[in-house]
Structure 1
């Protein structure tokens, strides 16, 4: 009976969704005139295309004020930064056709900016009327978007372009972005599915998804500016921050239990409600492995979502940034920090022998033939470095550790309990978190929670 009820509810939702799209005020106009890209959208939404060009999704960069060593007057992000999850950026790994594989004679298209919502002719950070016309509105807003059409190819002039689905069918299925619209890019970032963030957003893996929520229910955009958290690795932002404690979400006192609410002063919601993580935990860009198709990829060690445990640290929203470490700053004593969970990733790449700085890599050469130093040389040349051949020849392999915020895979039923943390073998290492020996003894004693848990057990009986 419950299955029938659930099926009926899903059918009703589907009917309502279909009705909502059919009721879109611009449907009749699109049926009559077809869909011509942003200029069609601008008939009802004037100025939105130009405004979109000033968002992180288009620029892949912004001014960053919470990360060590950055110039507050400049913009940083995937447009120009280098770190070992990707070991490249939109400049050195722009969308391109890679050299032919010497064994097969075949080539393919590759580039970090394949998720950029343009046509590649008008690329990351571009401005002007042509850039506005190039925006792929439907990749985010259509539930009938044919993602097979969104692939790189060469046009009749031999230029590499990114295809788009601008069909009438896709345009008539517009609405707010679904989880699929978002996850097509965000789940597959970093070189494969759940590699970078280590999470999948499904009803089986996330409590919000199980309730039927989609990404933009929390990440509510205004003028296409998307609110985000303060992930130590996610530098570029639209200047709008997101928190579980927002009054529109759970507020500062989310529990009925006062003892649990007291925890929120020092413990982030994610710490208890995201006890697991996943994704890539190590990657080697210095040695690439050959795949069955004879192309090469960096060797990556990966776990599935919910397959590994996070690392816990104090975090006050500011970020340590060195060639070998990117991670949270904070302490028990600063009055601003909370304990957060993080996914740890370590990447091996090449460093400049003279300066110690992390070097970028153009993926085209090693993807074709496995020559990673040729990739370093090409990137150095693209970035205008002196003596790129010597830089690559003398480059020194080394590791960088990155802390990724663990902000998804939310659970209520499997959240950490008192005994998970307040025990000698608990998930929190209170000593490493800065607590004194005396405090550790107190924090790891059942005395803290024994009577309360015992009473709850009697209720359950």
Structure 2
């Protein structure tokens, strides 16, 4: 075993694959029989060979859940750690539940130590048995039933299922947040996603490459202000002027590939499109289900709307978004756009891009005109968690305190919206949009909203 360790380390130093050594890429031989009582014990074992990779990963947004970004000329720290949304609003005061998708162990409150490498969860991405899972409200720790030795012995390249264990289930369930990311992508047909279900059977990391530093490409607009660099992605693999038709290549200068090649999202399973927190708290056991069999009401969360095979909303997009941050003043008489695509038809960096627009109603501080942070989750003994006491006043007071935000003691309700760029569920090319899908009397684009007098097929409208 000592010889295998030395050979594995030598292989790493020389930049060789473990498969070129006597260990033959078999981590089971190196991991041995454990035992491992906790996730950090597994990570310490991983670090005997992969310390550099672990520390590099700790600089990535998958670990930090934030990064320095620039908004209106100011440097800010923004990410999932402190972004607002119109699903469960914010993670402050709700850490054990929200951090069940963090790539680490033990983030149960604001005191979590991001400098401890043993808190990195290597298994959530790299185990290959399909049996590893985190406790839903366990601050990112493994489910006690998981055989840590078995999963540690199995480590390999991330699978679609591994990535999807978090990315398919954001917002509290399968396909809730991302209409173009759901469990059907674990093993999709070509009609659902031609990249992952087609002949090449691509995996997530074919596009979202990480390299040795684990700086994985791609960031959700929900937690990032964005960048105009490399925003449209497709040309990493496809040529700029890929169409034989020159007219289509001309269109591609101002229309994103996704616009034509993802005609609809939520193709097989419905996604949530409306969430009204203001109606929560009622004991309504007879709430009807919709035509998809989905619940339209839950006491814990309020009213919902679901949609399937959804035609996207089309907006000009230059890769960046405007957003409302904690403490920003809002106008409660209007729909508060927690995130909104930036760009217009005069913007040289902007293209027409498809979005899921999530809408809902959520609480705000009516004295200070700011979005309210809510303590939704807590143990059964909590005196403030909404899901325990169903008391909005106490839940908002506790949430704002945890987030370090002033609270007037008064609250009301606002309508909000968010934009979620649609990048997945690419259809086979023969199913892409045709001219009349966008142009003509039955075209799907709102040309006036995009800054035209009307359909630009007519030269007078351009």
Scaled by the length of structure 1, what TM-score is found? 0.76
Partner of 2:159: 178
Distance change >3 Å, CA 176–CA 300, structure 1 → 2:
farther
**Does residue 51 of structure 2 align to residue 43 of structure 1?**
no
Partner of 2:80: 78
| Residue correspondences, number | 391
Distance change >3 Å, CA 145–CA 28, structure 1 → 2:
same
Distance 1:203 1:420 in 2: 25
RMSD of equivalent CA atoms: 3.1
Distance change >3 Å, CA 23–CA 241, structure 1 → 2:
farther
Distance 1:122 1:285 in 2: 25
Distance change >3 Å, CA 261–CA 438, structure 1 → 2:
closer
**Does residue 254 of structure 2 align to residue 262 of structure 1?**
no
- More deviation, 329-338/198-207: 198-207
Partner of 2:394: 374
Q: 1:299 aligns with which of 302, 309, 312?
A: 302
User: Is the Cα–Cα contact under 8 Å of residues 232 and 256 in structure 2 kept in the other structure?
Assistant: no
Distance 1:410 1:198 in 2: 13
- 1:248-277 per-position Cα deviation (integer Å, ceiling 9, x unaligned): x11312323322222110000110111112
Q: 2:218 aligns with which of 199, 220, 228?
A: 228
Distance 1:161 1:431 in 2: 46
**Cα offset, 1:187, TM superposition:** 0.8
Q: 1:57 aligns with which of 62, 69, 77?
A: 62
- More deviation, 115-124/413-422: 115-124
**Does residue 420 of structure 2 align to residue 401 of structure 1?**
no
| Aligned ranges 1:55-454 → 2 under 5 Å | 55-65=60-70, 67-68=71-72, 71-72=74-75, 74-89=76-91, 91-95=92-96, 111-120=97-106, 126-128=113-115, 131-148=116-133, 150-152=135-137, 162-163=141-142, 165=146, 167-199=148-180, 200=182, 201=185, 202-204=187-189, 205-211=192-198, 212-222=201-211, 223-228=213-218, 231-235=220-224, 243-247=232-236, 249-278=237-266, 279-289=271-281, 290=283, 296-303=299-306, 306-322=308-324, 323=330, 324-325=336-337, 326-364=339-377, 365-386=385-406, 388=407, 390-391=408-409, 394-412=410-428, 413-437=430-454, 439-442=456-459
Partner of 2:290: none
Residue ranges of structure 1 left out of the alignment (5+ in a row): 1-18, 96-110, 154-159, 445-461
Distance change >3 Å, CA 355–CA 152, structure 1 → 2:
closer
**Cα offset, 1:166, TM superposition:** 6.2
Distance 1:313 1:297 in 2: 33
**Cα offset, 1:145, TM superposition:** 4.5
Distance 1:421 1:335 in 2: 22
Residue ranges of structure 2 left out of the alignment (5+ in a row): 1-18, 286-297, 325-329, 331-335, 378-384
**Cα offset, 1:362, TM superposition:** 0.6
**Cα offset, 1:288, TM superposition:** 1.7
Distance change >3 Å, CA 238–CA 182, structure 1 → 2:
farther
Distance 1:440 1:351 in 2: 44
User: Is the Cα–Cα contact under 8 Å of residues 280 and 300 in structure 1 kept in the other structure?
Assistant: no
**Cα offset, 1:437, TM superposition:** 4.7
Distance 2:149 2:250 in 1: 54
Distance 1:161 1:406 in 2: 28
- More deviation, 139-148/210-219: 139-148
Distance 1:176 1:379 in 2: 39
